[in-house]
Structure 1
């Protein structure tokens, strides 16, 4: 689920925290990805195909643009997330959710595929999203690519959405620092705001819309103070509300060491053996994509060499790093989607 309507709130109240870029702007960057989110995207978009095929194609797209992906796998989820996981499992038609963090057969397949692609993987002690954000805070990664907005309350400074292979697809980047500055709240206060909006770890105050939630946090600064001033008849506070536990999950750093990351060349013959002979993907698809990968990467590198020679370089090889920024026109603001659907009581 992520954080309910957080993207809309940012777009309307802190548009300067959003920038629009192309996938090529992330050349040379280390990007952390929540593997489960990526695989769920492929399952939803192409239910008739194996998500492994989508992962294979998407990862090669990153590499041919000289993006350095790091795939993070979920560990044991916090007990506070149990209700959400069961709901998702039921929607997906599964018997029950995985609450142990034990590797499924699909996870094992993903690990094998990414190893053959030469891409590093990291095992999170808990939620992968939390570790992705922590990798950015530690400077191990430059950004998190995810469609979920949880990255921001977890403290990930840069969140990227829509980082995919579609032509003319515009990537959306969120800056946590610019967001906090515009809203004039601290990170701790932002976490409380996200809990009020609705998160995966506890219930929310019923009927409290995003605009009202933001106003209350800006005025009262903490959930404890908000509860003292909210109208409990129109916005009943949940009984045994676990907001303190949710707050702790967002604010506590994952208990792990920063990993050492390395990337190697994809092993085409091993990929063919795994995808085609074991997973029954058509060999001509794999061979054709690998050939296209080599040609595209070489063409991109030649273009960068020409740009460097002309003194207009803006990208680097895979082993180099620097930030690229580009200004784009901001989209026209749409109607306000943030107001609560709950009818307000009439005033005399």
Structure 2
């Protein structure tokens, strides 16, 4: 999930209409997991076709992107490549949490507690290689570009922004800024009302924009020092120092200037400090210049309707949104429009 920096990095609200015509690099796995977690039945089961194949990821990808495409947004999806060896710890922790949530989901179902069952089911989401390949097949059919990064997708997005081929990165993870992306958009693909975890309460979630320049100004730290602060807190690549959160980490870096000095004061040592820094400051990426094409209606119909039983009428209506000109200012669509 990445590091939590929302309490110290300013974000400003952004209207979808302000993003018309912009080229947006979207964290592909982040997006698909959002759909797998949120698009479920009352008992927590994901949407499936008549053959039992999960379709939540395809439904979300197609219908939500169509609503945003109607606003004139252009998407390029980036998929993570091979995870770095140092990420094994956090991947193992995620796997263990899913195993635990699976057992709790089944127990809630047996007890007839559908509210708890749905909450626990959302924590069990798993993307198979076949599901990812089918999502990429759908992107091809829609004329939307995608690329697989050598490793971390956020780093690939940052490199593409530096090359001037995209205008912003779209992800929920603050790590995107640590990898050097100048501009991050959060909540873009899940705007609207969201249920609070474990509570029968809902909040309104709206798109927001964060910038690396804004983070540097607000914290009075350099990009390199922000990375040092994150290492003290703990990242996907290292466990961090117990008790160090955003505010304590920020205080230490402002006072002492570097992770080395902070670690010395705390009486801790990180043997691979320079390696951890380079994972954020010099992460591998590939050259990729996205190009956008027209949707191929026949391929979309075959994939969604013939293969998985989606409604032809709904698919046809959504397809038109990829083709129609953007709405005039003042007629902004919402994600509920799909």
TM-score, normalisation: structure 2: 0.77
Which residue is equivalent to 1:289?
318
- What is the correspondence of 1:260-299 to structure 2 with a 5 Å cutoff? 260-291=289-320, 294=323, 297-298=324-325
Q: How does 1:134-173 map to 2 (within 5 A)?
A: 134-164=159-189, 166=191, 170-173=206-209
CA deviations on 1:115-163 (whole Å, 9 max, x unpaired) are 0111001110111111112211221111101111110100000000011
Partners of 2:317 and 2:306 lie apart in 1 by 16
Kept in 2, the 8 Å contact 1:80–1:201? The answer is yes
| Matches of 1:289 and 1:57, distance apart in 2 | 6
- 1:42 and 2:42 aligned: no
What do the CA deviations read for 1:227-283 (whole angstroms, capped 9, x no partner)?
1112x4xxxx36x654432211001142422x1221112122221111111123232
Unaligned runs of 5+ residues in structure 1 are 96-102, 308-348
Residue by residue over 1:22-64, the C-alpha shift from the partner in whole angstroms, topping out at 9 and shown as x without a partner, is 1111101110011000011011111322211100112212321
Task: Give the corresponding residue for 1:85.
Answer: 91
Q: How far does residue 104 in structure 1 lie from its aligned partner after superposition?
A: 1.1
Match of 1:249 in 2: 279
Counterpart in the other structure of 1:336 = none
8 Å CA contact retained: 1:160, 1:172:
yes
Judged with a 3 Å threshold, the aligned counterparts in structure 2 of structure 1 residues 149 and 278 are, in CA distance, closer, same or farther, namely same
Residues of 2 paired with 1:287 and 1:165: CA distance? 23
Give the superposition deviation at 1:166: 4.3
Correspondences of 1:54-203 after superposition (within 5 Å): 54-93=60-99, 104-164=129-189, 166=191, 170-203=206-239
Note if contact 1:202-1:242 (Cα within 8 Å) is conserved in structure 2. Answer: no
Q: 1:165 to 1:39 in 2, by over 3 A?
A: closer
Aligned residues: 281
How far does the alpha carbon of each residue in 1:276-315 deviate from its partner, in whole angstroms, 9 at most, with x for none? 1112323233123224555xx3462xx37xx9xxxxxxxx
Secondary structure class of the residue paired with 2:155: helix
Structure-2 change in CA distance of 1:253 and 1:207 (3 Å): closer
CA, structure 1 residues 280+88, in 2 after alignment: closer, same or farther (shift >3 Å)? farther
8 Å Cα contact 1:203/1:241 also seen in 2: no
CA contact (8 A) 1:31 1:70 kept: yes
Map Cα deviations across residues 89-108 of structure 1 (whole Å, 9 max, x no partner): 3333499xxxxxxx811121
Question: What is the distance in 2 between the residues matched to 1:268 and 1:93?
Answer: 39
Residue 203 of structure 1 contacts residue 242 of structure 1 at CA under 8 Å; is this kept in 2? Answer: no
* Structure with larger Rg: 1
User: Matches of 2:6 and 2:167 in 1, distance apart?
Assistant: 21
Mapped to 2, the partners of 1:32 and 1:255 lie a distance apart of 14
Instruction: Describe how 1:305-344 pairs up with structure 2 within 5 A.
Output: none
**Cα pair 1:58 1:164 within 8 Å, conserved:** yes
Partner SS for 1:9:
coil
1:340 is matched with none
Aligned counterpart, 1:2: 2
In 2, Cα distance between equivalents of 1:195 and 1:299: 42
Mapped to 1, the partners of 2:214 and 2:326 lie a distance apart of 36
Tell me the C-alpha RMSD between the 2 structures: 2.4
- Structure 2 SS opposite 1:7: coil
